[in-house]
Structure 1
Amino acid sequence: MAPASRGPACQAIVKGGGKMGSSIQALKKEHEKIIDTLKACRESGKDPLDSQQQLKILHALLVEHLDREDHMVYSRLREAASGNERVLTILDRFDDDLLELTIAAKEFFALSSTGKKRRMDHIRDYGTFFIMLKDQLEREESVLFPEYERLVQ
């Protein structure tokens, strides 16, 4: 599996454009902002209007970030890794993980936006999504970004 960019499920959530970030540090700062916004969603849980607003902000951040990361890191790293089976294997694993995360994100945002979920279901889904997203961002920073810096920059 060697796509130039993420698959159709990820593209379904990544609809927007956005300016490319200038560095890996900028992407790391975006990771921090995404996590902070996800925490704000949790803290606003008792106020449905604030919670919905935080979810909209989070969705917009994720869409822009995934698009930027796809263009800046994934596609460039895949080009630079041509013939490097170790890095291509890493990228394939990240593609699979991102597909799973994208499906979870779409479900989370779709169900959260209806307001028809029981509170305990929402808390469970939020916790699952938070862990998946945080783990993905941490793996990107510890595995993928160093490979990018080694091969591309």
Structure 2
Amino acid sequence: MKSEIHAPQLGTPTARFSRQLSSTRRGARLSRLLAVQQLTDWGWARDSGTVQAAALLVSELAANAVTHGRAPGRDFLLTLMVTLHPGRATTLRIEIADTRGERLPAPAPNPQPSDEYGRGLLLVECLATRWGVTPRPPSGKTVWAEIQERR
């Protein structure tokens, strides 16, 4: 399992984007669209593997925030950060922050193909280089996933 708790971020971000969105299905959908647009604005091809993986990661994390991290009247925060590691790699970090710090994500132990829910974090594990959760005081959390491209 690649998930981590309280993992430090690698390096200093060279590009950053943040947007507060409503904790609704519409807000979750908009987060994916905004992420794809921002990544293409930063120079990734819309049909690249990184953008496609990032779109799925944002979709899953935002859907979880809207479904499990929602508090009435409170939004969630989408943040994208790019960190360049000279001569080695580029790291794209996706963060979704919500207000329900007591509800930590965990992959379903044995999801079945017929289950309607419970497979999203398994997808996150497959697509992300690493992922985890950090507390967001006073009462929230940030679920993050990183995609690392080797050069």
Please, what TM-score do these two structures have when normalized by structure 1?
Answer: 0.32
Question: Whose Rg is larger?
Answer: 1
Task: With a CA cutoff of 8 Å and minimum separation of 6, indicate the structure with the bigger relative contact order.
Answer: 1
Please, what TM-score do these two structures have when normalized by structure 2?
Answer: 0.32
Higher strand share: 2
Higher helix share: 1
